[in-house]
Amino acid sequence: MAMHGMRGLSVFISDIRNCQNKEQERLRVDKELGNVRTRFKNEKGLTPYEKKKYVWKMLYIYMLGYDVDFGHMEAVSLISAPKYPEKQVGYIVTSCLLNENHDFLRVAINSVRNDIIGRNETFQCLALTMVGNIGGREFAESLAPDVQKLLLSSSCRPLVRKKAALCLLRLFRKNPDVVNVDGWADRMAQLLDERDLGVLTSSMSLLVALVSNNHEAYWTCLPKCVKILERLARNQDVPQEYTYYGIPSPWLQVKTMRALQYFPSIEDPNTRRTLFEVLQRILMGTDVVKNVNKNNASHAVLFEALALVMHLDAEKEMMSQCVALLGKFVAVREPNIRYLGLENMTRMLMVTDVQEVIKRHQVQIIASLKDPDISIRRRALDLLYGMCDVTNAKDIVEELLQYLSSADFAMREELSLKAAILAEKFAPDLSWYVDVILQLIDKAGDFISDDIWFRVVQFVINNDDLQPYAAAKVKEYLHKPAVHETMVKVSAYILGEYSHLLARRPGCSPKEIFSILHEKLPTVSTTTIPILLSAYAKILMHTQPPDQELQNQIWAIFTKYESCIDAEIQQRAVEYFALSRKGAALMDILAEMPKFPERQSSLIKKAEDAEVDTAEQSAIKLRAQQQTSNALVVTDQRPANGAPPPVPVGQLSLVKVPSMITTEDNGTLSKVDPQPPSADLLGDLLGPLAIEGPPGATVPSEHNAVSGLEGAAEAVDGSAIVPVEVETNTVKPIGNIAERFHALCLKDSGVLYEDPYIQIGIKAEWRAHHGRLVLFLGNKNTAPLISVQALILPPGHLKMELSLVPETIPPRAQVQCPLEVVNLRPSRDVAVLDYSYKFGANMVNVKLRLPATLNKFLQPIPVSAEEFFPQWRSLSGPPLKLQEVVRGVRPMPLSEMANLLNSFRLMISPGLDPNPNNLVVCTTFYSENTHAILCLVRIETDPADRTQLRMTLASGDPTLTFELKEFIKEQLVSIPMVPRAPAAAPPAPPAAQLTPQIPANDPAALLAGLL
Amino acid sequence: MIKAVMVMNTQGKPRLAKFYEYLPVEKQQELIRRVFAVLCGRAENVSNFIEAESIFGPDSRLVYKHFATLYFVFVFDSSENELAVLDLIQVFVETLDKCFKNVCELDIVFNYSKEMTLLENIFWIHTILDEIIFGGQVLETSSAEVMKAVEEISKLEAASNAITLIPKSASGWRSR
């Protein structure tokens, strides 16, 4: 670095170092900046050497942490200097001082381009590095073709090419259009044949970015990735310098496996087998050793392999192998591995149902909650939260409560929120839930958000059985010497409402209750006093026969607060005082709180919102997001954004029933958000405290003012506290029923139906002509669902047997009802579940299609050309072989159609038809009458017109041929739901469209004729 | 993507900071301070991970390694594998070690008493880092390859210098 002989620079640095304090330093820096600025301004003809000197000074000042907002032009102009030293300084300083938004950078584009297309490798590297670090959109547009050329050039050294790969990645990020998908996909595949591991690593990073954007275009890269992985795993042709602690380039292994996770699945059985062999090797062959660095490297590979196995939905055996490995990790001493073991277990929970296996490690995981490392404790908390269900909730929540007292302050809020949510979701009984929340408030009152105590009050109000218990419990807490203010709030609220239920117990007379509450008044803030005043008013009302002494005491308090400076307190005091003199009227006005309308817990909603991670693009995460854990369901598929149109479902639609209870106007069919509008909880809780007369009661007009105490709440809650009125709202389903059904035709578990009260999940296993479905009926409420009835209306071709459905589903519980299915013969008819229940006064009756569709009895089968053609020929003509031209097909790229068919278990057999526009499908159909029958399908598409195709089907059973033809047609003509978001689907690859029409003498066409 | 590389000593003095996403200088310094505040409270023999989202925003991860009097900190997003980034710190440190003789004296390397050597060291450290991470992506993972690239630059430096004064440290490893 040619800085020698720059005496001025040396003096300046030395001055800076001799500064006694920051202030002196600043003065010296300002002086120098002034000096440099004048030089740049006045002396037009600065030599490159001088420029370089001043630019270095600027850089040094910048490194000291000062802003340098001039001289950028000079720095940029050095880039075009012909000689290395100046050019180098120009590039370095430009990269440091400027960012992509600087205008001056534009000036440099030409010089940078000249360096990139020039022959000097050093200059190429300098230019690529700068563009790779700060290049913006304009750079992307002007330089991408040149950078691509460098990357592909065989005459370039690896040193330049690997930089070109990452530079292109940067440009692609700035403007994805600079990489032309059609032209680039093949080149990308070629790049993966590279032998040099440096270039290959960079190319793999580029591929990861490209496939994360559009995996379909790059599917030819998939087998190459598997090959690279195989090469590394077998340590073939890996030079010494890329072997890190005995492991062949762990980075490249990791990147390659990351790239593979962006492909939704691996269809080719050979590729899949090879990959699973490699993965198996990694899973089995990694041990914890003494050397920390070797451990890190080998486990980097191992954890990536685990992620890939999870993504690929490996066979159960391999999955449990993964869980076993993770179980080993959560017990090892090595903290990094323990940390990642916990993290990956949490991830695993979300993708597969391995919960039972993970539960075996519960003791170990709980022990990690006491790890000296807070990072590990956090992971353990996340995992415990994720793995909690009805069976272990008691253990886990009690562990969390215990840990709360010793937990770091940084974790307490999260900890208490999580404990509260788990207690609510999985409470075996409600009194336990109340115990947990009260303990939380007691132990960590400062960290308990209002949501938590609002929620417990809602539960108590909605459950009559719980009220005396809760009242007795809060009273116990009030006897403690130090009581948190939140506890005072909850106690005042609950005792105000329900202490009269305890009146016969010792120490629970109205007077005694009043005096324990009133003891707390001097210790609380102004937000709590209004709640206390309400409680006093209610206690007074409940005191029968009236107690003169108590009344005087309470009146004295009201009188005292009549002149309170806080408007809220003053108003309550005045009004309660006036009201309590009215005697009987008080009874109406201060009547018990009505039940709250059921709604999703704001706590749970809050937690769910916090968990949505938009930045994350990895395939695993995407899947995990779709499957938020929920107490009530197996999986919870929320509709993708975009309002699903109300799909008519004919006679199978919901039977709408007028409802007695006011529900919020939630989830209409066309509504995007299935959640009820987030209600103002505070308004809910405190609003009804405000005094609102029952309909018809004569309420003095000033009381309306009182009801306004929580702002706008009264308008909403006015109706909530008037249960007398019959509302004609209906129970509406959440999400689109038809869409849910179609999704379940493609997969075997998910939600079939949901409304504000119930969620019906389904999980199915299919073997030959047998099916075993389990219906999960989850009561979402804090009150039981009664008169539950479920009837199956099977079509003629299915034998179905539903096990007994219990008549009552307890609050927040889930019941499982197995359903056995036997397929007798081919038919497209569907079974219907006729389901009804009662909630409060609501009678809900729903008829739902069950996803026991034709395709569920198909089993894909790979068929070779030698087997296929004789079969195809032997099944000649109708009724065994049918052909039809289908019009009005929803246009989609061929690859998408192939995916769709594959997901219906209609397995695409590539290579049988030489025409790339055609698809050949082989599958086996199972029914009791026919046993296994081979079905062969050929679909010929017209690249010029994607809305039509010709379909030929053949099987040994005429009904099957017909039914299957109709079934496939239904799926293609009006695809009810696209398996992936349509926005992500690329337009049909123009390459396919360019394929010329095959002339009659073409050998392929001849073969097609034979077909 | 790697978002930032920072090196700071155990007193919290930043020795190197490179952010691969643009951030104003003051913001960079604030982030370094906040990272140090967490790091200095951590015991030995704990994991190399700390919670980063509260400092760097969503989708951030952080791994660090403690060598003698220095913390090496890499911040990245979920597209990177945590342990692989940890390995990368090791490659960076091993390469520095080869160039500057002894990793234990790295803090001195970062704060050399001779003014010119200080700047030169900073230059070489940046050059080495640029050969390992490029625009937030892993460029090279082989310490030997990084050395080769840096050596070429050092030869150019030597050739372009009339008064051939290669940094001692650099000339030291160049002859290896």
Q: What is the pLDDT of residue A1010?
A: 41
Reading phi first (left if > 0) and then psi (alpha if -120 to 50, else beta), residue A614 is in alpha
Give how far B133 is from chain A: nearest CA, Å.
10
The pLDDT tens digits of the residues spanning A854-901 come to 889 998 888 888 888 888 888 877 888 888 888 888 888 888 888 888
Reading phi first (left if > 0) and then psi (alpha if -120 to 50, else beta), residue A245 is in left
| A512-538: average pLDDT | 91
Q: Does B44 touch chain A (CB under 8 A)?
A: no
DSSP-derived secondary structure for A241-255 = GGEETTEE-HHHHHH
CA–CA distances in Å: residue A247 to residues A87, A235, A338, B79, B82: 39, 8, 21, 21, 17
Confirm if A613 and A625 have CB atoms less than 8 A apart: yes
Q: What does the alpha-carbon distance between residue A761 and residue A632 come to, in Å, rounded to a whole number? A: 8
Q: What is the pLDDT of residue A759?
A: 86
Q: What does the alpha-carbon distance between residue A954 and residue A957 come to, in Å, rounded to a whole number? A: 8
A518-536 per-residue burial string, b: 16 or more CB within 10 A, e: under 16: bebeeebeeebbbbbbbbb
H helices of A833-935, in order, are 865-874, 894-903
Cα-based angle A479, A485, A490 (whole degrees, multiple of 5): 75
DSSP B2: E
User: Given a cut of 60, is residue A529 above it in pLDDT?
Assistant: yes
Q: What does the alpha-carbon distance between residue A547 and residue A640 come to, in Å, rounded to a whole number? A: 61
Of the partner residues B24, B143, B156, the one whose CB lies closest to the CB of residue A122? B156
Confirm if B7 and B142 have CB atoms less than 8 A apart: no
Check A242 against B137: CB less than 8 A apart: no
- Collapsing DSSP to helix, strand or coil, A762 comes out as strand
B113: which residues sit within 8 A by CB, 6+ positions away? none
* Cα–chain center distance at A289: 35
Q: What is the pLDDT of residue A730?
A: 67
The pLDDT tens digits of the residues spanning A71-98 come to 788 888 888 888 888 888 889 888 888 8
User: Given a cut of 50, is residue A646 above it in pLDDT?
Assistant: no
Q: What does the alpha-carbon distance between residue A505 and residue A526 come to, in Å, rounded to a whole number? A: 32
What is the ipTM for the molecules in this complex?
Answer: 0.89
> For residue A254, what pLDDT band results from cuts at 50, 70 and 90?
very high
Q: Does B171 touch chain A (CB under 8 A)?
A: no
| A760-785: average pLDDT | 85
Of the partner residues B46, B90, B139, the one whose CB lies closest to the CB of residue A372? B46
| B5-9: average pLDDT | 91
Q: What is the pLDDT of residue A984?
A: 39
| A828-835: average pLDDT | 87
Residues of B within 8 A of A56 (CB-CB) are 119
Nearest CA in chain B to A13: B115
Q: What does the alpha-carbon distance between residue B147 and residue B140 come to, in Å, rounded to a whole number? A: 10
Most confident of A316-320, A581-585, A646-650, B151-155: B151-155
Nearest CA in chain A to B4: A133
Nearest CA in chain A to B88: A251
Strand partners, A802: A819
Confirm if A737 and A848 have CB atoms less than 8 A apart: yes
A54 is in an annotated binding site: yes
Say what percent of chain A tops pLDDT 70.
82
Give how far B37 is from chain A: nearest CA, Å.
14
Check B29 against A92: CB less than 8 A apart: no
Mutate to test the interface with A, among B87, B95, B122 (most CBs of A within 10 A): B87
Q: Does B8 touch chain A (CB under 8 A)?
A: no
The pLDDT tens digits of the residues spanning A902-921 come to 888 888 888 788 788 888 88
> For residue A35, what pLDDT band results from cuts at 50, 70 and 90?
confident
Q: What is the pLDDT of residue B14?
A: 85
User: Given a cut of 60, is residue B172 above it in pLDDT?
Assistant: no
Q: What is the pLDDT of residue B114?
A: 59
A56 is in an annotated binding site: yes
A68: which residues sit within 8 A by CB, 6+ positions away? A33, A58, A61, A62, A97
Confirm if A458 and A430 have CB atoms less than 8 A apart: no
Give how far A9 is from chain B: nearest CA, Å.
8
Nearest to B114 by CA among B36, B167, B48: B167
Q: What is the pLDDT of residue A648?
A: 35
Cα-based angle A570, A558, A531 (whole degrees, multiple of 5): 70
Check A2 against B160: CB less than 8 A apart: yes
Q: Does B158 touch chain A (CB under 8 A)?
A: no
A7 is in an annotated binding site: yes
Q: What does the alpha-carbon distance between residue A200 and residue A248 come to, in Å, rounded to a whole number? A: 13
Strand partners, A920: A938
Q: What is the pLDDT of residue A303?
A: 93
Check B87 against A63: CB less than 8 A apart: no
Check A202 against B139: CB less than 8 A apart: yes
Q: Look up tokens 């190429």; give the residue.
A: A124
Residues of B within 8 A of A304 (CB-CB) are 81, 84
Residues of B within 8 A of A134 (CB-CB) are 22
Q: What is the pLDDT of residue A1009?
A: 37
Tokens coding A1008: 């097609």
Q: What is the pLDDT of residue B23?
A: 87
Q: What is the pLDDT of residue A259?
A: 95
CA–CA distances in Å: residue A698 to residues A183, A591, A764, A992: 80, 15, 59, 78
Nearest to A464 by CA among A498, A508, A504: A498
CA–CA distances in Å: residue A606 to residues A247, A708, A793, A1006, B44: 44, 27, 40, 63, 36
Burial of residue A331 (CB within 10 Å: 0-12, 13-18, 19+) is: middle
Contacts 24+ apart (CB under 8 A), A931-935: A932/A768, A932/A859, A933/A957, A933/A960, A934/A861, A934/A863, A934/A871, A935/A858, A935/A960, A935/A961, A935/A964
Of the partner residues B24, B90, B149, the one whose CB lies closest to the CB of residue A293? B90
Check A615 against B135: CB less than 8 A apart: no
> For residue A202, what pLDDT band results from cuts at 50, 70 and 90?
very high
Strand partners, B67: B70
> For residue B124, what pLDDT band results from cuts at 50, 70 and 90?
confident
Residues of B within 8 A of A99 (CB-CB) are 22
Q: What is the pLDDT of residue A637?
A: 33
Q: What does the alpha-carbon distance between residue A733 and residue A968 come to, in Å, rounded to a whole number? A: 29
Question: Across chain A, what does the average pLDDT equal?
Answer: 79
The pLDDT tens digits of the residues spanning A205-237 come to 999 999 998 888 898 999 999 999 999 988 888
User: Given a cut of 90, is residue A1007 above it in pLDDT?
Assistant: no
Q: Does A52 touch chain B (CB under 8 A)?
A: no
The pLDDT tens digits of the residues spanning A388-432 come to 888 889 999 999 998 888 888 878 888 888 899 899 888 888 899
Q: Look up tokens 């990793």; give the residue.
A: B103
Weakest-pLDDT range from A446-450, A669-673, B21-25: A669-673
- Collapsing DSSP to helix, strand or coil, A820 comes out as strand
Residues of A within 8 A of B81 (CB-CB) are 254, 258, 300, 303-304
Q: Does B48 touch chain A (CB under 8 A)?
A: yes
Q: Does A83 touch chain B (CB under 8 A)?
A: yes
Tokens coding B24: 């104003």
| A165-193: average pLDDT | 90
Q: What does the alpha-carbon distance between residue A811 and residue A782 come to, in Å, rounded to a whole number? A: 5
Check B84 against A122: CB less than 8 A apart: no
CA–CA distances in Å: residue A8 to residues A14, A27, A392, A781: 10, 17, 72, 78
Residues of A within 8 A of B49 (CB-CB) are 336, 339, 375
- Collapsing DSSP to helix, strand or coil, B175 comes out as coil
CA–CA distances in Å: residue A398 to residues A406, A413, A454, A573, A812: 14, 16, 21, 41, 20
Weakest-pLDDT range from A528-537, A627-636, B101-110: A627-636
CA–CA distances in Å: residue A279 to residues A47, A299, A619, A710: 61, 13, 18, 60
Residue ranges of domains in chain B, CATH in brackets: 2-163 (3.30.450.60)
Q: Does A293 touch chain B (CB under 8 A)?
A: yes
